[in-house]
Amino acid sequence: MVDVWTVTRRFGIAALLLASIIGCSCAPGAPGATTIPGSGGGAVGTCPMFPADSFWHADVSGLALHPDSAAWVSTIGASKRVHADFGSGLWDGGPIGIPWTSVKAGQPRVPVSFEYADESDPGPYPIPSDVPIEGGPNADGDRHALVVDTGDCHLYELYDARPSGAGWHAGSGAVWDLRSNALRPASWTSADAAGLAILPGLVRYEEVAAGRIDHPIRFTAPVTRRSFLWPARHQAGSTSSNSAPPMGAWFRLKSSVDPARFSGAARVVVEAMQRHGIILADNGSSWYISGAPDPRWDNDNLHDLDVLRGSDFEAVDTAPLMVSPDSGRIRS
């Protein structure tokens, strides 16, 4: 779902279905991506969602608090409610959330030009002509397009993707080797303001139906600092104040929140936010957590998360996890 803040962002379930499933990608109409049993729904076909020792699978439940935790929570909004920025059906004519799709080996590659070419990975990209666009094909806003090529296990992500001739034009783009812990060059954007991949931070239906989200969740905040923390690589802040969180700031849901208060998908999300936390990846509404649209979401159940407030979160110090500032690998 696109919010009104998007004009200023760049540069500057029903009850659980099965304990384990084999299912399609959660992007409506996505071509045949499957999950691996026991993967928590995170993998796409035989492709991992980054290596097992990636920060994308870090358990932050035991990390110490960041010294700026209270200030950051206050700036984002201690009384602001959490909102699941994904669901079933349409909002403003488009799917609710950030859609994605997968393609098989041999998908034709097409040229892509970029507004921010100096920080984008050059094309061609295997983007199908009918790739799902965030907000729908006629949307304004971020217009993210995310594609996993299951032939070479690479993830292709575009920001502000628009058809152009025989290919696409985008604000920026990034290509990720899903079997590698390599990060973007320092200070480079990606298709997201923090310079991170988008897909691994989304709540996806199939992983929730499998009963476990094994990764931190992408979220947004209205005011960010002009800096970034590992594993982020880019900033889009509007202030130098230390009271504002930088891109890459990592929060977890406090252990005082009882997951038993929730059911279905909401409970799985709560458990993930306590174990893996949430990562600040873009400017936007306070405590909006990101996910992929799927007709199987129960929107009423997702709205149960609205009882959570910013005061239920705390920022953690992820420095002890880092092996190298240029790698997403974490210490065991």
Strand arrangement of the beta sheet that strand 313-315 belongs to: 83-85, 288-290, 217-221, 278-283, 250-253, 313-315
pLDDT of residue 332: 82
Q: How many domains does the chain have?
A: 1
Long-range contacts of 235-240 (CB under 8 A, 24+ apart): 235/193, 235/194, 236/9, 236/10, 236/11, 236/12, 236/189, 236/193, 236/194, 236/282, 236/283, 237/12, 238/12, 238/283
Q: What pLDDT does residue 61 have? A: 98
**117 — phi, psi (to 5°)?**
-65, -30
How big is the CA angle at 22 (ends 17 and 23), to the nearest 5 degrees?
80
Q: Which of 310, 244, 315 is nearest to 277 (CA)?
A: 315
pTM of the model: 0.89
More confident residue, 121 or 5: 121
Spatial contact of 321 and 259, defined as CB atoms under 8 Å apart: no
The answer to whether residue 146 is domain-embedded is: yes
180 part of a folded domain = yes
Residues 33 and 44: their CA atoms lie apart, in Å, by: 6
- Widest CA span in the chain: 54
Question: How far, in Å, CA of 75 to CA of 61, rounded?
Answer: 23
Confidence at residue 42, expressed as pLDDT on a 0 to 100 scale: 83
Q: Tens digits of per-residue pLDDT, 70-110? A: 999 999 999 999 999 999 999 988 999 999 999 999 999 99
Residue 319: CB atoms within 10 A of its CB come to 11
45-72: per-residue pLDDT in tens? 999 999 999 999 999 999 999 999 999 9
Task: Please report, rounded to a whole number, the percentage of residues in the chain having pLDDT higher than 90.
Answer: 86
Would residue 326 count as lying in a domain? no
Q: How far apart, in whole angstroms, are the C-alpha atoms of residue 11 and residue 20?
A: 41
25-50 average pLDDT score? 56
Domain interval for residue 317: 4-321
305 lies in some domain:
yes
CA–CA separation, 8 and 73 (whole Å): 22
What does DSSP say about strands 101-103 and 90-91: parallel, antiparallel, or unpaired? unpaired
For residue 315, pLDDT over 90 is answered with yes
**Is residue 332 a part of any domain in this protein?**
no
Evaluate whether residue 72 is within a structural domain. yes
What's the CA gap between 70 and 314, in Å, rounded? 7
Q: With respect to residue 331, please indicate whether it lies within any of the assigned structural domains.
A: no
